[in-house]
Every structure is written in structure tokens, then in C-alpha cells.
Chains A and B, each alone.
Chain A
């Protein structure tokens, strides 16, 4: 199912206008990264996809569901949302119960829920931690619990809000792997990130936001090469893109493989 956003504006009750009219279609199965400066409206935008926020004007549709006509609980059948800070979403006494909460709440049968939980725990490398209280885990592993608890709901659309923040290299690799598995399963993945190297290596479509609007929207090769436009929303191109450009490589270099291939030419 597609995400259809039309002429969306949103103002917080304080009067801050966070979204200033944006339209966007995300096709089923796409992997999209949303980048841009702090306060650009990235989190405000994705909070509209599951109805946590309602448009001030314009509309947001997930498949044939308009978010204004369905509860957040209903939207959760289609859109999973992993918060930036795992501590805002974890509340159960152990990891197994935490991850099972979502699928049970969606009304899956016990057997189906069990399968989803097992699968989500395996994907996030948490299978040996089911009995542990999430708050006895390090922040790194709490992040993985947050991911698992949303993945277990098996929604068509999964949103990650800055999944790599504060994570070390090993955990960033784990998160990249989770996104890869979701891609293979045909899920739509929408990820807010400031980690532009991670963005280049894992996403095919990049949307750059600035001041409540879309500044750039295109395939990663085009978008990440536009250093002057990206700078207006406080984004530096990826390390290897910058290096490739300095060395006069043709096209946008997005990963080590492309860089090493370019070097040999």
C-alpha cells in the first residue's frame, strides 16, 4: 500500500508552523531516507503517518485509509513506528512480553503472534534475552528491543526515527541488516537519519527537508551529490561522496565498493 501525502501543513498548538505544505507519494516496498537539519519537520512529518499527529490542512493516506478517519490504534495495523528514544516506548517486565505486546494488541492469534515474536527477536539478535528486563539492558540493546517490538507487528510500513543515534559500529551494522531483511520482504521502510554515510549505503531514495518543506526528493545518487543544496539544510554529503568528488570521480560514490571500483579506473 502506498503513502499519499497531499498539501500537508501542520502547526503545533504553540503556533510553531512545522510543516508548510508538502506533497509526497511513497510506493509500497520503497526504502526512503529522510534527512535535513534539526527542526526541519522530519519527526513531525512521520508522526502524521500513523495518526499521532493530524494535519492542520491537507491529507495523509495510507493505502485507502485517511489518517483523519481512523484511530492511531487502527493505523498501527499498517504503520509501525520506532521512536528515536527507546525509553519512550518500552514498558514491559521482560523482552519477550515487550515484543509480544504489539502483535497481541493487533489481534493476531496466539500461534501467529508467537511466530512473529520469534522472528523479530531473531532478526534483532535478541533471542537469548527474552527473560531480561529491557531496563537491565544497555541503551544499545534497548534500541534493538524497540526495533523488535515494532517489527513483530508485521506492518506493511515501518518507520525508524534516527535508528543509529548513539550506536556503535557493530549495532549500526545490525540495524542495517534489519532494514535489508525488511526490504527483501517487500516492506516499505521510512527512516529519519543524520548519519549520511548510513543513508548512502542503505537507501535508494532520499528526501531532504528544510523548514517544513521538501527541498530535494530523488534517488540517492542524485540527491547526495547535490552538496550546495544539501548545505542549505545543514547536511554534508557522505564521506566517500566527498572524497570521490575531490578526486574527480564521475558520478556519486556511495559506498566502499563503488569507491574502490572508481579508483581502479
Chain B
């Protein structure tokens, strides 16, 4: 059953002329890990904000169509009810860190404090979440003394600790080191397998290809492709529209022109590329 159900959603930010989302129809099943790709300005963040309830409840503006998440209708709910089901990690962790807490531990506990979780439940939940994202050793540091990538892990952890049904991540690894990025994708994959639904706006095509169940491509506010990673990431529909592709896909496409890539399907992962080129 769809846990996220957007029907005919069109949305315009206040004081803007053009709609940021145009007639979006988007259903996601429980436990699916969906990556949202697209050039800057395509509407990825806006789609994230819509699922997370920030559009329209925080940003205002004009929304038409229906947005349902976990059985609740966005137009009949408010943000403080919505956040019990849906967690959003912002693109820039600096915009998310509360500024009200002296340590990473307290920062991560902040959301739980706000919803009244008892202390003896809160402490183990915070510890478990920090362990999951590998930041236990940062517990006593000030959130503002951390590097960009470390702050981003704190921002992600402070959402995971809430145990949301739906996890919405807006470029959650943009400032992370490469192996850290891969690890975070792995953690998110595991959470999806345990039943968490994940929507992730991302540019890092290689890790999308390895970890996501499905890829949705946005262009100028519209969904122009929706499918399994291998199909969507190599789709001709994306050509010439500013989408990033993996180097594996790119070199295989060029090799195909000279007959050095013989398969019909283009590779999106290292393994697929090795397999396809091994015969050359």
C-alpha cells in the first residue's frame, strides 16, 4: 500500500511566477527507497518539502492537488502532527542545527524532548542513533565545532532518532567524504529493509545505483522518468537536460559507438561495468 500518495500536485512559492512543482503524481510503498534526481532548480527540494509538510505549512504559497502521507491528508493536518510520521534532513545542516544546545548529544535529543519522550527511553535512543551513523565519539563536542560533513551526520542522526515512518533526505551526504557517503547510503538501505520509507534527493549517481530501489527524475518541476535505477539512470529521456550520469554509463555509451560495449543495457554500477567490459 502506498504510504506516500501525491495526486495532481502543483505548487507555487509565494511571490513567484512559475510553479515549482507541476502536476506531480507520485506514490511510494512502505519500505521503498526512492532517489530523486535532477539538475539544480528542477524541484527536488520542493518535492522533499512537500512530502515533509513544509510545503505548504511552513513556506505557504499555493498548493493544489492532494498530499497524503501515512494515511493523513496534508491539507487537514498541521506540521507538529506531521513530524511524528515524517522526518526531514535539510540540505544544509547549518539550517537545521538548533543553536540551542551545547553538545551533539543534546542536539540529537532535542526532537525527542519536544515530543515528551521519557528520559530513560531518550538516552538509549540517542546513543543507538549515534552508533548507527558512527558519531558516538562526537557526543560531547559542540555542534558548531564540527566540520561540514560531521555536522551533516549530526543533522541526519537527529532525524533518525525520531524513528519516522517516512524519512526525507535532501542531499544528506553532500559534504561527506566518499566512504562516509557510501556508509550512510548503506545505513539508509538497511533502514528501508526494516520498513522505513525513504525519499532522498541526491546527485551521487553511483550510490543511488547501488542502494536505491527506484529513481524518480525531475525536470522543471515535472516527473519525466520513474523506474528502476538501471533503467531510469540510463534513460534517453534524461539526455541533454543537465542530469548527472555515472562515469560508467558515460564511458560505456562512448564505447558502444565504436563497438567496444556490446550489451544493450548500459552500466550504472562498477560491477555492471566490469561485467560488460571484461569480454573486450
With A139-B40, A235-B177 given, is the CB distance from A170 to B242 under 8 Å?
Answer: yes
Q: State whether B41 touches A140 (Cβ < 8 A).
A: yes
Across the interface, B242 reaches (CB within 8 A) one of A16, A85, A169, A239, namely A169
CB of A144, distance to nearest CB on chain B (Å): 11
Q: Which of A166, A172, A231 has the most CB of B within 10 A?
A: A166
Q: State whether A256 touches B146 (Cβ < 8 A).
A: no
The reply on A185 being an interface residue by CB < 8 A is no
CB of B204, distance to nearest CB on chain A (Å): 9
With A166-B171, A169-B242 given, is the CB distance from A37 to B180 under 8 Å?
Answer: yes
Q: State whether B274 touches A38 (Cβ < 8 A).
A: no
* B residues less than 8 Å from A109 (CB atoms): none
- Report Cα–Cα, A231/B177, bound state, in Å: 11
Residues A145-203 near B (CB distance < 8 A): 162, 165-172, 194, 196-197
Across the interface, B248 reaches (CB within 8 A) one of A16, A84, A233, A243, namely A243
The reply on A240 being an interface residue by CB < 8 A is yes
Q: State whether B278 touches A239 (Cβ < 8 A).
A: no
* A residues less than 8 Å from B171 (CB atoms): 166
CB of A38, distance to nearest CB on chain B (Å): 3
Counting contact residues on chain B (CB < 8 A from A), the size range is 35 or more
* A residues less than 8 Å from B180 (CB atoms): 37-38, 234
* B residues less than 8 Å from A139 (CB atoms): 40
Considering the complex of A and B, which 10 residue pairs feature the smallest CB-CB distances, nearest first?
A38-B149, A169-B244, A234-B179, A140-B40, A239-B247, A234-B177, A168-B39, A37-B177, A236-B178, A166-B174
A interface residue numbers (CB < 8 A to B)? 12, 14, 16, 36-39, 43, 84-85, 138-140, 162, 165-172, 194, 196-197, 231, 233-236, 238-240, 242-243, 246-247, 256, 259-260, 263-264
Beyond A38-B149, A43-B147, A240-B251: 17 further Cβ-contacts under 8 Å?
Answer: A12-B145, A16-B141, A37-B179, A38-B148, A38-B150, A39-B146, A85-B94, A166-B40, A166-B171, A167-B40, A168-B40, A168-B243, A169-B39, A169-B245, A194-B175, A235-B177, A264-B260
B interface residue numbers (CB < 8 A to A)? 38-41, 91-92, 94, 141-142, 145-150, 153, 171, 174-182, 203, 206, 242-248, 250-251, 254-255, 260, 270, 273-274, 277-278, 280
